[in-house]
């Protein structure tokens, strides 16, 4: 079977094909192209992407670890269904860890960190102006991760990142709501200003408000027991 032409796939070539396929499938799940409960046939995906089944299985196993996919013995892989109640609990736990990371990070922030965060906010503005929701979601995650990384706690950052992956599917339910995203971007700018002032108490208040809007919106747009 011929190799896939990676210059025409849905993302730039990452280190391995398994990682490339992971990103393609993850993006399709987040965008709703692949729906909860939909079966993912490794052989069909391999044929579509022009690769062997090995990197496809690698990607499916990684998606299972991130709760995007369930793999049932003798049945195959399926896009997982994550109940709304679980998403809300993940968000609540994530907020607690994010606040801890912020408390650790603020005293360690350098001017270079703040300059990088300012650049990310400009990138978010650009993505918002273009209605590029996937780019906005990626930059949003990077913005928050960049703050938490300053905490100098690899364990804490890793756990927040894991919860970010688990809650991304809930965020995708309302990520294309322009009014909602505009409000979120205004909150990003307020958080950046508070970071520059090293005002930890204000940043924590803003983060609570930022995340609570996620929970409130999720309760409205997703019925119980569904994605």
- The model carries a pTM of 0.74
Residues 6 or more apart whose Cβ sits within 8 Å of residue 64? 70, 71, 77, 80
Do residues 143 and 120 make contact, with C-beta atoms less than 8 angstroms apart?
Answer: yes
- Per-residue pLDDT reduced to its tens digit, 114-173: 999 999 999 999 999 998 887 888 899 999 999 999 999 999 999 999 888 878 776 666
- Per-residue pLDDT reduced to its tens digit, 34-63: 888 899 999 999 999 999 999 999 999 999
Q: How confident is the model at residue 8, as a pLDDT?
A: 41
Assign 12 a pLDDT band (cuts: 50, 70, 90): very low
- Per-residue pLDDT reduced to its tens digit, 67-121: 889 999 989 999 988 778 888 898 999 999 999 999 999 999 999 999 999 999 9
Q: Is it the case that residue 2 has pLDDT exceeding 60?
A: no
Domains and CATH numbers, the chain: 6-79 (1.10.10.10), 84-221 (1.20.120.530)
Do residues 72 and 78 make contact, with C-beta atoms less than 8 angstroms apart?
Answer: yes
């Amino acid at each position: 079977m011929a190799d896939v032409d990676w210059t025409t796939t849905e993302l730039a070539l990452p280190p391995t094909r398994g990682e490339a396929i992971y990103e393609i499938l993850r993006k399709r799940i987040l965008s709703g192209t692949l729906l909860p409960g939909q079966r993912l046939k490794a052989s069909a995906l391999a044929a579509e992407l022009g690769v062997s089944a090995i990197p496809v299985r690698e990607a499916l196993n990684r998606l299972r670890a991130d709760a995007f996919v369930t793999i049932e013995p003798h049945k195959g892989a399926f896009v997982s269904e994550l109940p709304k109640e679980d998403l809300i609990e993940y968000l609540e736990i994530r907020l607690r860890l994010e606040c801890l990371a912020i408390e650790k990070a603020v005293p360690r922030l350098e001017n270079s960190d703040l300059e990088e965060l300012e650049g990310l906010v400009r990138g978010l503005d650009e993505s918002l102006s273009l209605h590029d929701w996937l780019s906005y979601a990626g930059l949003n995650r990077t913005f928050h991760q960049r703050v938490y990384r300053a905490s100098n706690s690899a364990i804490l950052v890793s756990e927040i990142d894991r919860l970010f992956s688990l809650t991304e599917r809930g965020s995708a339910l309302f990520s294309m709501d322009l009014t909602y995203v505009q409000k979120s971007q205004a909150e990003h700018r307020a958080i950046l200003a508070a970071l520059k002032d090293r005002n930890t108490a204000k940043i924590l208040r803003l983060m609570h408000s930022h995340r609570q809007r996620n929970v409130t919106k999720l309760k409205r747009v997703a019925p119980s027991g569904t994605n």
